[in-house]
Structure 1
Amino acid sequence: MNSNHCSKLLALLLAATLVVSAVGPAAAMSASASGAPDEKQVGEDVESTFTITKPFSEYNTWTLNGETELDDVTWTVQLFDQSGSKIDQSSYDGQSFNHSLEQSDAFEVKVVVKGTVPEVENFTYDPEQELALAELNQLRDGGSSASIDEWTFRPYTTESQEARDAIDSARDAIDSADGSGADVSGAEDTLSNAVSAFDAENFGNAVDLADEAQTKAENSQQSSQQTQMLLYGAAGLLALVVVVGGALWYRSNQQDDYDKLR
Structure 2
Amino acid sequence: MTKTNSSRFSRVALAGLLVLLVAAAPVTAASIANEDVPQEAQVGTQVTATITLDELYQNPTLESWQLEGTTELTNVSWTVVYYDQTGSKVNQREFTGQQFSGAPVSADTGTSEVRVRITGTVPRVQQFSYDPPQEFLLMELTQTQEGGASNTLGTWTTHHFTERSDQARNAIDEAQAAIDDAEASGANPQEAQTDFDDAVAAYNDGSFDVAISLANRAVDKANAAQQSRQTRQTIIYAVAGLVVVGLIVGGFLYWRSQRQTYDRLG
Q: State the 1:56 CA deviation.
A: 2.1
- Selected match of 1:85 from 88, 109, 117: 88
Q: State the 1:144 CA deviation.
A: 2.4
**Structure 2 SS opposite 1:52:** strand
Q: State the 1:145 CA deviation.
A: 2.0
Aligned partners of 2:33 and 2:212: how far apart in 1?
Answer: 38
Deviation track 1:56-106 (CA, whole Å, cap 9, x = no partner) reads 232212111211111111111111111121111111111111122222311
Counterpart for residue 76 of structure 1: 79
Counterpart for residue 133 of structure 2: 128
Counterpart code for 1:235: A
Aligned partners of 1:219 and 1:32: how far apart in 2?
Answer: 51
Aligned residues: 234
Q: State the 1:55 CA deviation.
A: 1.4
- Selected match of 2:224 from 219, 226, 230: 219
Counterpart code for 1:199: N
**Structure 2 SS opposite 1:111:** strand
**In angstroms, what is the RMSD of aligned CA positions?**
1.3
Deviation track 1:187-223 (CA, whole Å, cap 9, x = no partner) reads 0001111111101101011001100000000011011
**Structure 2 SS opposite 1:228:** helix
Q: State the 1:149 CA deviation.
A: 1.7
Question: For residues 131-142 of structure 1, what are the structure 2 equivalents within 5 Å?
Answer: 131-142=136-147
Counterpart for residue 173 of structure 1: 178
Aligned partners of 2:50 and 2:188: how far apart in 1?
Answer: 50
Counterpart code for 2:175: A
Counterpart for residue 102 of structure 1: 106
Deviation track 1:1-54 (CA, whole Å, cap 9, x = no partner) reads xxxxxxxxxxxxxxxxxxxxxxxxxxx832144441000000000111111112
Deviation track 1:133-165 (CA, whole Å, cap 9, x = no partner) reads 111121122332222122211001100000000
Counterpart code for 2:73: L
Q: Which moved more, 1:72-81 or 1:229-238?
A: 72-81
Aligned partners of 1:240 and 1:103: how far apart in 2?
Answer: 89
> What is the TM-score with the length of structure 1 in the denominator?
0.86
Q: Is the 8 A contact 1:75 1:93 kept in 2?
A: yes
Counterpart for residue 208 of structure 2: 203
Identity of matched residues, % = 40
Unmatched runs of 5 consecutive residues or more in structure 1: 1-27
Q: State the 1:172 CA deviation.
A: 0.2
- Selected match of 1:163 from 161, 165, 168: 168
**Structure 2 SS opposite 1:186:** helix
Q: Which moved more, 1:172-181 or 1:49-58?
A: 49-58
Deviation track 1:220-241 (CA, whole Å, cap 9, x = no partner) reads 1011101100000000000100
Q: Is the 8 A contact 2:34 2:53 kept in 1?
A: no
Aligned partners of 1:188 and 1:140: how far apart in 2?
Answer: 54
Unmatched runs of 5 consecutive residues or more in structure 2: 1-28
**Structure 1 SS opposite 2:77:** strand
Q: 1:33 to 1:158 in 2, by over 3 A?
A: farther
Counterpart for residue 51 of structure 1: 52
Counterpart for residue 262 of structure 2: 257
Counterpart for residue 5 of structure 1: none
Instruction: Please tell me whether residue 241 in structure 1 is matched to residue 242 in structure 2.
Output: no
